[in-house]
Amino acid sequence: QVQLQESGPGLVKPSQTLSLTCTVSGVSVSSGDYYWTWVRQPPGKGLEYIGYISYSGATYYNPSLKIRVSISVDSSKNQFSLKVNSVTVADTAVYFCAREVGYTFAKFDSWGQGTLVTVSS
């Protein structure tokens, strides 16, 4: 059974860097046709796609966030990570990590429970 778990600071100051890690169990992040993804949800609002790192190490970022976002993988720890630079209060959200199966179907079949990150001084 695949499980994902987000971890990282719950409070980040404006202009600083938000850093989160997703620990994956039950499957290798280097295997299969999987795309390891970050999605966020501001309080009371809808879901926003951030981007992915693939099983082969390729990355893709939502154009609206591309200049501030990076996703990396640590295969030895079976983890992938998100960094968002120069955060503002608009980056306050619950951040979810998820697994997308294949690329064509928008099929996110496994999700972490989510972690709330608040941007505040």
Partner 1 sequence: SSELTQDPAVSVALGQTVRITCQGDSLRNYYVSWYQQKPGQAPLLVIYNENSRPSGIPDRFSGSTSGNTASLTITGAQAEDEADYYCCSRDSSGNHQFGGGTKLTVL
- Which residues here bind partner 1, judged by CB under 8 A? 39, 46-49, 60, 62-63, 96, 98, 103-109, 111-114
Q: In a 3-state reduction of DSSP, which class is residue 83? A: strand
Of 13 and 66, CB closest to partner 1: 66
Nearest partner of 100 among 45, 32, 46, 41, judged by Cα = 32
In whole angstroms, the minimum distance from the beta carbon of 72 to partner 1 comes to: 19
In whole angstroms, the minimum distance from the beta carbon of 113 to partner 1 comes to: 6
- The C-alpha atoms of residue 2 and residue 20 are separated, in whole angstroms, by 19
In whole angstroms, the minimum distance from the beta carbon of 31 to partner 1 comes to: 20
- The C-alpha atoms of residue 61 and residue 75 are separated, in whole angstroms, by 20
